[in-house]
A and B are shown apart, each in its own frame.
Chain A
Amino acid sequence: MDSGINMLCFSGSYVIALGLELSGLWTQVRLRRPMLLVAGGAGLVAHTWYLGRRIAEMPAAPLANQQDWYVLAAWALAIIYYSLKFYYPRSATGMFLLPAVLGLIGASLLVSTAPLSNSQGPRIWIQMHGIFLMLGTVVVLFGFLAGLMYLTQSYRLKHKLPTRSRFQLPSLEWLERVNSRSLGAATFLVGGGFFTGVLGRLAQEGDQNFVPWTDPVVVALAAMLLWLVVAEAFRLVYPAARQGRKVAYLTLAAFVFLILVLAAVTLEDSLHVGPELSENRDSIPRDPFPSLLGTAICQPADGGPR
């Protein structure tokens, strides 16, 4: 089953694509666009293959462990990047999106590869919880990047800087729409992730059927959800927050909360790993290229949680 495709393959393709994107700032490279499509496409195919193989190895993948979760989020963002290459062929969206894709892949190397806790409760809640939060993360990230692009484009127009140069961005109208919609979608998805997590916890059997409200992960996620709800309400009630720079600022703030949540999950997570693994999380080997050891880690020989 081992096809030899690991994280290095698709990360390398994305790095090449980013290099090509950046090269456009200084020089006119012949056949740059086809090369970009090939590099990005190759990365996406390898990425998809990698995730497909993980699913074949483990039914719980690609939400089997934190590392998979990050790699899946990076894949979703890479799909957005590749789609935009067709919708906005000349724009420099890759300069914003590809570092985020690579950032997520990089972060996946820092997080635990231990299996997420084997809940005794209904599996559906766990799956929905993971999917909602993964999509919420992608949407918040994309909204944040659209916000950055909006502020850059707005600054250039305000200060009469050249706009037809080698660094082109989508229109303010489109970026504002993306910002606005991403905020609404993020509220729904993070809310969904939060409540399915709570329900999944309450549905567990044994002494785990309670919600640890003081846990840093729960606190950070609740704070993020609260912020998103307030921001969305503010956007709906206050007309000025629906357009222009204000909505971009709201998405930037949502990103700060996302970083807090991810930091809490990475550093202080006791909810998503089994008790015995939680106690020994520092001793869990971290494999940067899990395809090499993935099966062994995700299917412990001692019959531990999968």
Chain B
Amino acid sequence: MNLRMIGCSHKDAQLDVRQQLAFNPTQTLEALGFWQARFPDDELALLATCNRVELYAAGSADPRELVDALLDYRHVSTRQVEAHLMSLADTDVVRHLYRVTSSLESMVVGEPQILAQVKQAYQFAQEVGSTGPMLHDLFQSALRTARRIAGETDLHKHRVSIPSVAISDLASCVFESFDNKHVLVMGAGEMAEETLRYLRDAGKPQIHVINRDAERGNRLAERWSGQYHEWPELWDQLVEADLAISTTSASEPVVTSEEFDRRVSPYRHQRPLFVLDLAVPRDFDPAVGEALGVYLYSLDDLAEACKNNQAARAAELPKAEKIVAQETSRFLADASHRATAPVISGLRQELERPKKAELERLFQKLPNLDESGRREIEQFADRLVNKMLHPPMESLRDASQNGTPHGLLDALRRLFKLED
């Protein structure tokens, strides 16, 4: 089979290591072209996401050479990343790619983006022309496995990251759609940005950013095509908001219950306000959540929801692992069949040729043989060939249970002088 994978992921390498090996789409296409020239007989595909960089190869390239090729392109010395790199072969490569595509290897198990990323990695390889039949089968079966897991288990139904739970599980209980909703982002924290990403996936909200540091606030607003407001506009913005995401680094609550009751509540007329307080310490006084129409969720509340979903998801993992095991066996059996089929067919042809020649010679010597006699002799010859083929075929089938039996195939080729 000769499958190889070298690379690193969030499991073995910290962000700084992964950053050194990061590839954007342009670099991926360029690198594949470059490596194709270096390994002309090999099939290659590169999966590069923010959590993993993995080079898949099918062919005769030595894993050491593949590592060198990967590191050379990024100008990283082996010493720097060696401890974080992993190298897999054959069955392990198949199982690993299936697990990656099904998000079982993801930081957030069950996240859906990885499927599209694997698909794109294969499309890049096709674009460059660095792929071939082996990687085609491997990637197609990986996508099939991921789809089976998505369809046959509830793994993807339980979200576990805080922003995804906040938007998909909670905010969607308040809002029918996020289109044109007034979203107020207080502070310019990372969590706010991640939450905005989920919000944008879910609809087209109007984003308003309010931050003490005007430069950072403006930058965030620009990135999300939103509008920046000066800090003193906080209360007016809270009156207008449908959803508020707060991630400031203030050491005291920014929105106290008294101020909210005085400056916001009377003007909202109990219109629902969903507040995600993602700051530590809290930006909203917990008493604000008691106001009519206000649904206040702190980081702790969301973490609790995530924990519940994690437990529900864990119950689905064995089913997903079972599907991965089934599909891996299926791929190996198919691969083995592909490898042994030419030898089996060659063997049969090698025995069929002398059988036909001997039958012809015999029938010429016995010209008075009637039709039923000829049929009997032909059947005798067929049975003899089949019986002679049976033991090597059985040995081949038994040996194929654990992958392609390269040694046995080679021996059969040499013994029977089979041509490739």
Binding site for B on A (CB under 8 A): 153, 156-158, 160, 162-164, 169-174, 176-177, 239-240, 242-246
Contact = CB atoms under 8 A, between A and B. Distances in A.
20 contacts: A157-B173, A157-B295, A158-B289, A160-B297, A160-B301, A160-B304, A162-B305, A164-B158, A164-B309, A169-B173, A172-B173, A172-B174, A173-B176, A173-B177, A176-B272, A242-B269, A244-B271, A244-B272, A244-B292, A244-B293
B395 interface: no
Nearest to B304: A160
B379 interface: no
B401 interface: no
B292 A171 contact: no
A166 to B, nearest CB: 11
A240 B265 CA distance: 11
A171 B297 contact: no
A49 B197 CA distance: 51
Contact of B173 (A153, A177, A239): A153
B19 interface: no
Nearest to B157: A164
Interface string B297-314: 100010011001100000
A245 B173 contact: no
B170 interface: yes
Given A173-B176, A245-B292, A163 B269 contact: no
B305 A171 contact: no
Contacts of B271: 243-244
A174 B173 CA distance: 10
Nearest to A171: B176
B175 A173 contact: yes
A243 B270 contact: yes
A244 B242 CA distance: 13
Nearest to A173: B176
A157 B174 contact: yes
Interface in B188-224: none
Interface in B222-273: 269-272
A173 to B, nearest CB: 4
A239 B176 CA distance: 21
A163 B170 contact: yes
Interface in B155-189: 158, 169-170, 172-177
Contacts of A160: 297, 301, 304-305
Nearest to B175: A173
A202 to B, nearest CB: 43
Instruction: Report which residue of A158, A160, A162, A170 has the largest number of chain B beta carbons within 10 angstroms of its beta carbon.
Output: A160
A91 B304 CA distance: 23
Given A158-B289, A158-B295, A239 B269 contact: yes
Contacts of B169: 163-164
